[in-house]
């Protein structure tokens, strides 16, 4: 609270600050609600993708076991060497003031014909490669949704913190300041009326 004499201009200034703060709080609350809705939609999709990814892992494990049984460990090792490392591209996204990256493979998964001679290996090697290619598609969506959800959760945390600061700290202080200024001005006005009334009464008696 300022030590200078309180004025109606100060009261108006505090009221404007309260109004601006409440509008800002409403904007943040709408942002919070939108973030929660986005997260709910993405969490639903994430659960679906996670299930699909786990099923893909089960298929890979099964086809890997069969390929290893029929073609041997050396064939699996040779296949691993034949599969090139993926080059990954990155794209920056933005939602509700929140920035997060998405990752995409620059190249498609190689076809079986590019990796080995089908005449030299069993069908289980082909199954393994197909299962790896399918899992790869699901994997990137799984990763990107996970990254997005983490970013949205961080933005939601910051938004909730700002709302809480307004509710628990800034607004109560401004409301208290408004009450004190209002009380001071009302008391000052009451005293001025009393002085004026007393002066008029004395003047009437003297003039009487």
Helix residue ranges per DSSP H, 83-170: 112-115, 123-165
Residue 195 belongs to a domain: no
H or E segment at 12? helix 8-71
Is the pTM of the predicted complex or chain greater than 0.75? no
CATH number of the domain that residue 121 is part of: 1.10.287.3240
Q: What is the mean pLDDT of residues 48-62?
A: 93
Round to whole Å and give the CA distance between 148 and 46. 10
Owning domain of residue 84 = 23-169
pLDDT number for residue 2: 47
Identify any residues that bridge with 100 across adjacent strands, giving them in sequence order: 93
For range 173-190, the mean pLDDT: 90
What's the total number of domains in the chain?
Answer: 1
93 pLDDT more than 80: yes
| Strand stretches in the chain, DSSP E | 88-95, 98-105
- Indicate whether 174 belongs to any domain: no
User: Would you place residue 51 in the very low, low, confident or very high pLDDT band (cuts 50, 70, 90)?
Assistant: very high
Structure tokens that stand for 57 in this block: 């892992």
Residue 1 pLDDT class (50, 70, 90 cuts): very low
Does residue 121 lie within any of the structural domains? yes
Q: What is the mean pLDDT of residues 50-54?
A: 93
Candidate ranges 85-89, 94-98, 104-108; pick with highest mean pLDDT: 94-98
- Whether 112 is in a domain gets the answer yes
Distance CA 60, CA 127 (A): 9
By the 8 A CB rule, do 100 and 155 touch?
A: no
Residue 158 domain-assigned (yes or no): yes
Are the C-beta atoms of residues 112 and 118 closer than 8 Å to each other?
Answer: yes
Please check whether residue 193 lies inside any domain of the structure: no
Q: Is residue 120 part of a domain?
A: yes
Residues sharing a CB contact under 8 Å with residue 83, sequence separation 6 or more, in sequence order = 110, 115, 132
Residue 181: inside a domain, yes or no?
no
pLDDT at 145 over 70: yes
Judged against a pLDDT cut of 80, whether residue 203 lies above it is answered with no
């Amino acid at each position: 609270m300022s030590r200078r004499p309180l004025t109606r201009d100060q009261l108006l200034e505090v009221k404007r600050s309260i109004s601006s703060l409440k509008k800002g709080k409403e904007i943040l609350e709408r942002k919070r609600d939108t973030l929660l809705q986005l997260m709910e939609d993405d969490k639903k999709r994430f659960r679906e993708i996670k299930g699909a990814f786990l099923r893909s892992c089960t298929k890979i494990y099964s086809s890997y076991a069969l390929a290893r049984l029929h073609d041997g460990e050396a064939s699996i090792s040779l296949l691993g060497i034949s599969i090139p490392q993926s080059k990954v591209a990155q794209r920056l996204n933005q939602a509700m003031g929140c920035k997060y990256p998405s990752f995409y493979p620059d190249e498609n998964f190689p076809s079986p014909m590019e990796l080995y001679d089908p005449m030299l290996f069993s069908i289980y090697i082909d199954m393994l490669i197909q299962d790896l290619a399918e899992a790869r598609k699901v994997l990137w969506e799984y990763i990107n949704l996970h990254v997005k959800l983490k970013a949205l959760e961080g933005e939601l945390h910051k938004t909730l913190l700002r709302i809480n600061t307004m509710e628990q700290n800034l607004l109560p202080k401004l409301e208290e300041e408004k009450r004190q200024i209002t009380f001071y001005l009302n008391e000052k006005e009451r005293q001025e009326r009393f002085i004026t009334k007393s002066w008029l009464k004395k003047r009437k008696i003297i003039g009487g």
